[in-house]
């Protein structure tokens, strides 16, 4: 059973308790997907030069944010891990000559649990979290995803969790999205829908407003896109499932890769 892979923006941690069009979309998406055997998430909030893979039997919930309502710090997502899936991921990394390390006891960050809590609220599907390396090239990030593509045929749901436009220094109070943010998202959408990998790999040189949308200090939120894309069949064209904005520039989008 092959399940689509996704890039899913996790936006503000408040998505865990808010009710809006995006949270309703995530809940509906979770209900409509075939039930995965396991979920593997590349999270923007786990940026490491070394590839890390969780191996916990059950995950603690990391509240890796500050200044939010007290209710947020009481939320948990006690999803189980899956030792066999972690092992299988490690085998595929080793076969691809990628050095990796098992990680025990870290917990799952809000880039993982906020979206999974909306999609699969029962927390009864095994989860394995994976780090990203924002200093690698897009081609390398994509290649790491490709190593894991065989797991798509084994009922594993892959998610890249981040944000295509994610510059916290350029948030706005207005209700309408900033034109530059829309222009960047539109360029990315055009290339994703056409399957133009080489252009996407060069987004920082070709896309309009790339430095504002993906600042040098925030690349980790963009790169989960390439990891998720890599898990899909080579040449796969993407489908945009949702697009909206928070605070004028924080892009909320979901892309599906069959």
Domain range summary for the chain, segments of one domain joined by +: 5-257
What CATH architecture does domain 5-257 belong to?
3-Layer(aba) Sandwich (3.40)
Mean pLDDT to the nearest integer, 111-129: 98
Global pTM reads: 0.97
Rounded CA-CA distance 229/210 in Å is 19
What percent of the chain is predicted at pLDDT more than 70? 100
Angle between helices 110-119 and 21-32 (to 10 degrees): 70
- Classify 56 as helix, strand or coil: coil
Helix (H) or strand (E) holding 8: strand 5-9
pLDDT of residue 1: 77
Answer for the pair 57, 81: CB distance below 8 angstroms, yes or no: yes
Mean pLDDT of the chain: 96
User: 3-state DSSP: the chain helix, strand, coil percent, rounded to 5?
Assistant: 40, 20, 40
Would you say the C-alpha torsion 222, 226, 228, 232 has a positive or negative sign?
positive
């Amino acid at each position: 059973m092959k399940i689509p892979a996704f890039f899913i923006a996790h936006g503000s941690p408040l998505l865990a308790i808010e009710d809006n069009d995006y949270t309703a979309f995530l809940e509906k998406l979770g209900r409509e997907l075939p039930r995965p055997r396991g979920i593997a998430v590349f999270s923007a909030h786990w940026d490491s030069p070394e590839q890390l893979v969780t191996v916990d039997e059950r995950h603690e919930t990391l509240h890796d944010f500050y200044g939010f309502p007290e209710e947020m710090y009481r939320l948990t997502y006690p999803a189980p891990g899956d030792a066999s899936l972690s092992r299988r991921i490690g085998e595929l990394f080793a076969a691809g000559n990628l050095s990796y390390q098992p990680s025990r006891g870290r917990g799952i960050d809000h880039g993982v649990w906020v979206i999974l809590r909306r999609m699969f609220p029962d927390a009864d599907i095994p989860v394995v979290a994976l780090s990203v390396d924002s200093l690698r090239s897009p081609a390398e990030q994509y290649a790491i995803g490709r190593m894991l593509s065989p797991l798509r045929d084994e009922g594993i749901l892959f998610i890249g969790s981040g944000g295509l436009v994610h510059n916290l220094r350029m948030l706005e109070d207005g209700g309408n999205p900033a034109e530059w943010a829309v222009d960047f998202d539109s360029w990315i959408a055009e290339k994703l829908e056409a399957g133009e990998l080489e252009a996407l790999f060069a987004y920082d040189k070709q896309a309009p407003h790339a430095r504002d949308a993906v600042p040098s200090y925030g690349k980790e939120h963009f790169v989960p896109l390439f990891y998720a894309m890599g898990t899909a069949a080579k040449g796969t064209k993407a489908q945009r499932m949702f697009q909206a904005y928070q605070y004028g520039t924080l892009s909320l989008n979901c892309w599906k890769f069959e």
